[in-house]
Structure 1
Amino acid sequence: MTDQVAAKQLMDPASRDKEKRKKARKNFWTAMLFMLPAIAIIGFFLFYPMFKTLYFSFFVVNSRGDTISFAGLSNYLYLWESSTFRTSMKATFLFALYTVPTTILVSLFLAVITNEKVRGIPFFRVAFSSTLGVSVAAGATIWLILLHPSVGVFNNLLAGIGFDRIGWLTSSTWALISVSITTIWMNLGFNFIILLGGLQNISEELYESARVDGAGYWTQLFKITIPLLSPTLFFVSVVTIINSFQSFGQVDILTGGGPNNSTNLIVYSIYREAFESGFFGTASAQAMILFALVLILTIIQFKFVEKKVHYQ
């Protein structure tokens, strides 16, 4: 081994560089060999459907998935002029506006209060994270019963205190709010666990030093907790925004996109356009617009919001 090391040291720089490149190529192909199964699976289930959708968006496609004729940008121009698509986009942005900030703030509040060392707090941690174990179908069904116009718990409570019943799922004004409340409840468990984990990673010594210096609870919260939790908050915000643009199950079960397309979010609009109307071309165009929208929002967050994140 010593002779080999001495021989390498005696090699001229050009030979050493050649040897390094040879070793790097060998390591690269070895790594690719180990990654090949994962690349194949990701390529087949992610990249192939994505490129197929992009391809379909430029064609007229029948209900069997066969391309009939080249349409160019006609599918995109059709969506630009479609009032239904504009309503869908408006509903999607309103839904994201209702759900994303509320979910993060409520989850943060629950995580902060359950991070306290109080007797019996493990019970509340389990309770607040329990929605993570509830499927979308089960959660939406629970809220479908709670929001029922005649036998629902909420309307019975309103009637009991003298208020008029509300068409939670049948009114264009309340339907999107009702779906948003359901979504917030279903997303609380995941965000709560992530934020609580972030809080528990903050060193207790920082709080002890702050208390010695006379810092109160609110000073510690805004000067220590929030800044040190910012990487976790950033991750939660990115994931929550992406999930808000991909919501489908609760819309399908609660409202079916109605009434008057007030809850026809873009993912549900894609489903209806493709599998109910059979227009795969325009559905693919909607899917590509959704992809571009989510990509742009994610890039904006990494470009501007991440600058406010404190990693140390």
Structure 2
Amino acid sequence: MPFVAPQQAKSAQLKAAAKLESAAGARRKEHALAYLFLAPSLLIFGIFLFYPLLKSVYLSLHLTDPRGRVAEFVGLSNYKNLLGSTAFWNSLKVTALFTLLTVPAGIALGLIAASLTYSSLRFMRLFRFVFSLPLAISVSTASVIWMMLFHPTLGMFNYFLAAAGLSPVQWLTDPTYALLSVAAMTVWMHSGFNFIVLLSGLQGISQDIYDSAKIDGSGPFRTFVRIIVPLLSPTVFFLVIVSVIGAFQSFGQIHILTKGGPAGSTEVFVYSIYKEAFMNYQFGTGSAMALVLFAIILILTVIQFTVLEKKVHYQ
């Protein structure tokens, strides 16, 4: 009998070890199956995201010839020259101003349109369709449309100014108005997306909240400012993040409407990268600028998540 208990204990240990080994094998099979399903996506990300990123890091440390071939290793000289360039700081200032002009105005316009069309009155679906139309228009198409509106002699804006007895404005060739004009076009172009997202956020708020506020004697304006807007803060926070990233990546409308002019007044950061890489054929400097832009967007996003998310009210 004294020898039975140790044998039973050893048998139990063997069974426990076998179960652990079986569980570990099952987990390995699950992980292998998961990576098998993820393999196509990882391959696509590797080809179109990770490889270009690593290639940009490599090129940013070198000088290149017009064909993009590496000519000389220069280390961090591209970054030092970039930070000492007045063109770099001008494009950064223009991009920051462009972001300030487009992001708050775009979100405010979308919020107003969503609030006006939230009710279930007749023909509201038609207005929702109209307000969401800019989402279906490409950047190039929208830019061509607004280029005709901004035309100094044939454009509708100057036609209305002339009808009011005012002097015409050189919308795209005057440094005072060029960035404002491009910003106005960008706000309109993004209004469809902002409208749909904010309308979805409004529709996600329970009707009981409106009824409770009405019973407590809260007027429509007070209810909207003190109750609805805080409940919309997660949606607004999402739009702020996406809009800031989109503003820093704006290129198409700048390229079509102003080509960075006049006198660099609309030369945003991405257009500077385009000029440096594909007009001046300085792919090393262009890659360094692209990585700096990546770092700026990353820092801004982290700051927004650190600071702004504290003011977000989740239900």
TM-score by length of 1: 0.93
Within 1, Cα distance between the matches of 2:83 and 2:152? Answer: 36
Q: Give the deviation of 1:14 after TM superposition.
A: 5.7
Aligned 8 A contact 2:276 2:286 in 1: yes
The answer to whether 1:39 aligns with 2:42 is yes
Task: Summarize the alignment of residues 211-290 of structure 1 with structure 2, pairs less than 5 Å apart.
Answer: 211-290=214-293
Q: Give the deviation of 1:79 after TM superposition.
A: 1.1
* Residue of structure 2 in register with 1:207 after alignment: 210
Q: Give the deviation of 1:251 after TM superposition.
A: 0.4
Within 2, Cα distance between the matches of 1:270 and 1:172? Answer: 21
* Residue of structure 2 in register with 1:128 after alignment: 131
Structure 1 residues 206, 65: closer, same or farther in 2, change over 3 A? same
* Residue of structure 2 in register with 1:188 after alignment: 191
- Partner amino acid for 1:91? V
SS at structure 2 position matched to 1:69:
strand
The answer to whether 1:76 aligns with 2:79 is yes
Within 1, Cα distance between the matches of 2:213 and 2:124? Answer: 24
Within 2, Cα distance between the matches of 1:18 and 1:176? Answer: 66
The answer to whether 1:145 aligns with 2:138 is no
Question: Percent identity of the aligned residues?
Answer: 48
Structure 1 residues 13, 125: closer, same or farther in 2, change over 3 A? same
Within 1, Cα distance between the matches of 2:14 and 2:194? Answer: 57
SS at structure 2 position matched to 1:311:
coil
Aligned 8 A contact 2:102 2:184 in 1: yes
The answer to whether 1:295 aligns with 2:294 is no
Q: Give the deviation of 1:81 after TM superposition.
A: 1.6
- Partner amino acid for 1:46? L
Q: Give the deviation of 1:228 after TM superposition.
A: 1.7
Q: Give the deviation of 1:137 after TM superposition.
A: 0.5
Residues 249-292 of structure 1, C-alpha deviations (whole Å, 9 max, x = no match):
10011001100111111111111111111000111111001000
- Partner amino acid for 1:82? S
Q: Give the deviation of 1:49 after TM superposition.
A: 0.7
Within 1, Cα distance between the matches of 2:105 and 2:16? Answer: 61
Greater mean alpha carbon deviation, residues 19-28 or residues 46-55: 19-28
Q: Where does the alignment leave 5 or more consecutive residues of structure 1 unmatched?
A: 1-8
Q: Give the deviation of 1:26 after TM superposition.
A: 2.1
- Partner amino acid for 1:123? L
Structure 1 residues 213, 19: closer, same or farther in 2, change over 3 A? farther
Within 1, Cα distance between the matches of 2:164 and 2:14? Answer: 90
The answer to whether 1:306 aligns with 2:309 is yes
2:106 counterpart (98, 103, 107): 103
Q: Give the deviation of 1:17 after TM superposition.
A: 4.6
Aligned 8 A contact 2:79 2:285 in 1: yes
RMSD: 1.6
Greater mean alpha carbon deviation, residues 259-268 or residues 12-21: 12-21
2:64 counterpart (55, 61, 65): 61
Residues 216-240 of structure 1, C-alpha deviations (whole Å, 9 max, x = no match):
2123212331122111111111111
* Residue of structure 1 in register with 2:173 after alignment: 170
- Partner amino acid for 1:190? F
Within 2, Cα distance between the matches of 1:207 and 1:229? Answer: 14
Within 1, Cα distance between the matches of 2:224 and 2:21? Answer: 56
- Partner amino acid for 2:173? T
SS at structure 2 position matched to 1:68:
strand
Within 2, Cα distance between the matches of 1:230 and 1:13? Answer: 52
Within 2, Cα distance between the matches of 1:251 and 1:58? Answer: 29
Say how many residue pairs are matched: 304
TM-score by length of 2: 0.92
Within 2, Cα distance between the matches of 1:61 and 1:113? Answer: 55
SS at structure 2 position matched to 1:302:
helix
- Partner amino acid for 2:194? N
The answer to whether 1:87 aligns with 2:90 is yes
Within 2, Cα distance between the matches of 1:188 and 1:156? Answer: 25
